[in-house]
Amino acid sequence: MSPKKVLLALTSYNDVFYSDGSKTGVFVVEALHPFNTFRKEGFEVDFVSETGKFGWDEHSLARDFLNGQDRVDFENKSSDFNMALAKVKTPKEVNSDEYKIFFASAGHGTLFDYPKAKDLQDIASEVYANGGVIAAVCHGPAIFDGLTDKKTGKPLIEGKSITGFTDIGETILGVDNILKAKDLATVEDIAKKYGAKYLAPIGPWDDYSITDGKLVTGVNPASAHSTAVRSINALKK
């Protein structure tokens, strides 16, 4: 197993979600910041989604979220980021033995497809069983809904500490009623469902990430970089 490969998961869900008619999908910086962090540390990074396709969360394209060097990297068709995205894999094209870190990026789209993404969940559980790290940021912990620890057969997050986007944050964004109407579980819901300890930041927009052994989680877009750094450090330990 190569010590220098990361598999970065993307949501395949890309449809109208917000009350203004905008689509959800991959939240740009929640894929871009981890990608750049891993590349800077010498890791190869491959992208994967359950269907091999993805689309952007349209709110994540706003200047408030995407500016400076991030926007330059995003708009440069020949950036390392875009070159890697052009080769998004399907799970069937992935050999889990090659990867030391499985990183679940986010966007509200993950709440729709990650809990049903059995192929992605299988890859993540195999990486973990091989001594690798599973990391997830913001809504990425939706991947844990149905994810089992291959060695114990129990839910992977049972008895562990995790974080992820807060219920308070959903209310502030004005999407809590949308989630209820669509019967979507929040990260806090998933933690309760599987007996995990949910840890919240002081403020929903703070940079906040935590490590529990080989499990690393972060709370929001501002935490994408620190979650990637923690996953590298968890791997070293």
Out of 30, 108, 138, 225, pick the active-site residue: 138
Is 170 in the active site? yes
138 is catalytic: yes
Indicate left, alpha or beta for 20 from its phi (over 0: left) and psi (-120 to 50: alpha). Answer: alpha
The one catalytic residue in 33, 59, 108, 139 is 139
Distance CA 215, CA 3 (A): 17
Tell me if residue 33 is catalytic. no
One-letter identity of residue 129: A
Q: How far apart are CA 201 and CA 145, in angstroms?
A: 22
Among residues 30, 33, 108, 170, which one is catalytic? Answer: 170
Q: Are 156 and 148 in contact (CB under 8 A)?
A: yes
CB neighbourhood size of 231 (10 A): 30
Burial (CB < 10 A; 0-12, 13-18, 19+), residue 174, is exposed
Residue of 204, 132, 126, 124 lying closest to 166 (CA atoms)? 204
Residues that are catalytic? 138-139, 170
